[in-house]
Structure 1
Amino acid sequence: MKHTDARAALMPLPPADRAQQVTAALADYIQRSNLVPGDRLPAERELMAALAVGRSTIREVIRHFQALGVVEARKGSGTYLLRAISGTTIHMPLSLETTHLRDVLLKTLEVRRGIEAEAGMVAARMRTAQDLTVIEEKLDEMERVHLSKGTSGPEDLAFHLAIYDATHNPLFKQLLEQMREAFERFWDKPFDRPDFARRSFPFHRTLFNAIAAQDPEAARTETLKILAIVEEDIKEMSK
């Protein structure tokens, strides 16, 4: 373990694109300080003061690093480096250079279709009894909210994230983390329509049933049914 006073200095950042700047600054700091897996990162308050950013920004960046498998937060102990990185190797979020929501959603859907269809198949093969319990809990909550409000954006996303977890392949979550902003647009009432993709609601239960039955092909089929409705709604609602 290295001493804090031997580490490189962290400098305040200008007020623009704070999360990306903090991501790059922290990755560069890790490299310049020669931190190795097992070393502890500066405390949250120290990072806030050194980089002149708020707690929410620091936590967003740490969450991003956790999703990428770079750091590990240990309750009551701190945040520790799991693998060495630098400003040139840390992955920045992927984004599309377009202002048209329709184009963003359709292009992102092409990627989402490949990732989620495969994730459903892998989850069906690899899921444990505990995974199944978590997925069903997320599905039950999604159905409860959907039936009471007619929409269930965050709960729908949580259901899909639970399926990613059930693959036991961290690369699925890391890919999602790279495209989080683009992916989350699907659950953020696109086109100001709370009924977006509402018709896909029943297929979430049949997707769960396929994963429970450990039937990869059925899981793929049900996932594609959901995403086909998403595509239809993008095209219809953006006319």
Structure 2
Amino acid sequence: MSLTDRAIARIRQLIRDGELAPGSKLPPEQQLAASLGLSRNLMREAVKALVVARVLEIRRGDGTYVTSLEPAVLLEGLGGAVELLQGDTVLELMEARRLFEPAATALAAHRITDEELAEVARHLSAMQETRDDVELMNQHDAAFHRAVVRATHNETLATLLEHVSERTLRARIWRGLVDDEVADRTVAEHRAIHEALAARDPGLAQAAALIHVHTTERWLREHLPEREHRRPAGPPDPADPRPLPDPADPLPPTEE
């Protein structure tokens, strides 16, 4: 462990022990460095690293503060990391979504309020109305799932799933462009999720969400790259140099 890492660990320990509470202001640099037995240079490096990690924030002209330490703040950097994932990871992210989202939907069935259920219904209606506009429909699709996961009242789970789902959105739009029947199926699958939530039935909600995510994942496995037919779930083949399509790349053209 480097000296900077040790300095970071000491500040994090102060936060874990409650000596620096969320939202609190750090003592002056010289004072904090002396109390921790660190040089001012090491203290500056540690503070910079913790600012990047969203643990601390610098308020110009005021000082350095501990952030709220809310999941949405601390996990914000996860979105940027997910965007940089390479190769087959769009399918790995779909696997992660399949593992987490049905369980989250079951939890939402326990906890969803009438107001939250009404929001889910609004997004479902918007999907039905925009089914001829692939990109707009998928935006409402994403908002539907975001509303469901928020209804778990679990901010950590909601933040993690948001970042996982964002990276798969382009691939789902691509599916909508090349599969003429996907819009009707997608609306039907979302309607089943909404009905299960309205019934406050966790088991049914989990099953409906699992069917929906699995259907999308299976379609992507069948249509993204040829090599996925040969290697549906294993590690990358080092002898095959062809990369998977990146969902951030331009969408493929549709057939006339």
* Alignment TM-score, normalising by the size of structure 2: 0.56
Distance 2:55 2:202 in 1: 42
Query: Counterpart of 1:217 in structure 2: which amino acid?
Result: G
Distance 2:198 2:24 in 1: 47
- The 5 Å alignment of 1:43-122 reads 68-70=71-73, 91-93=77-79, 94-95=81-82, 97-99=85-87, 103-122=88-107
- Contact 1:104/1:182 (CA < 8 Å) preserved in 2? no
Instruction: Provide the residue aligned with 1:214 in structure 2.
Output: 200
Instruction: Provide the residue aligned with 1:156 in structure 2.
Output: 141
Pairing partner for 1:165 from 140, 150, 164: 150
Deviation at 1:34, TM superposition (A): 2.9
Instruction: Provide the residue aligned with 1:201 in structure 2.
Output: 187
Deviation at 1:179, TM superposition (A): 3.1
Query: Counterpart of 1:35 in structure 2: which amino acid?
Result: Y
Deviations 1:5-62 (A, max 9, x none): x89xxxxxxxxxxxxxxx9648476269431458xxxxxxxxxxxxxxxxxxxxxxxx
Distance 2:24 2:91 in 1: 48
Deviation at 1:97, TM superposition (A): 4.1
Distance 1:104 1:2 in 2: 39
- Contact 2:53/2:77 (CA < 8 Å) preserved in 1? no
- Contact 2:127/2:187 (CA < 8 Å) preserved in 1? no
The answer on 1:188 being equivalent to 2:184 is no
The secondary structure found in structure 2 opposite 1:189 is helix
The answer on 1:127 being equivalent to 2:112 is yes
Deviation at 1:149, TM superposition (A): 3.4
Instruction: Provide the residue aligned with 1:35 in structure 2.
Output: 65
Segments of 5+ residues of structure 2 without an aligned counterpart are: 1-22, 30-49, 227-256
- Contact 1:116/1:223 (CA < 8 Å) preserved in 2? yes
Cα pair distance change 1:208/1:35, threshold 3 Å: same
* Alignment TM-score, normalising by the size of structure 1: 0.60
Distance 2:57 2:51 in 1: 10
Pairing partner for 1:138 from 102, 115, 123: 123
Structure number with bigger Rg: 2
Cα pair distance change 1:161/1:134, threshold 3 Å: same
Query: Counterpart of 1:69 in structure 2: which amino acid?
Result: A
Cα pair distance change 1:236/1:90, threshold 3 Å: closer
Distance 2:211 2:90 in 1: 17
Instruction: Provide the residue aligned with 1:13 in structure 2.
Output: none
Distance 2:57 2:109 in 1: 38
Instruction: Provide the residue aligned with 2:41 in structure 1.
Output: none
Cα pair distance change 1:91/1:214, threshold 3 Å: same
Deviations 1:118-140 (A, max 9, x none): 11101101001111111101111
Cα pair distance change 1:191/1:139, threshold 3 Å: closer
Distance 1:115 1:195 in 2: 28
Distance 1:28 1:215 in 2: 38
- Contact 1:106/1:231 (CA < 8 Å) preserved in 2? yes
Distance 1:113 1:29 in 2: 34
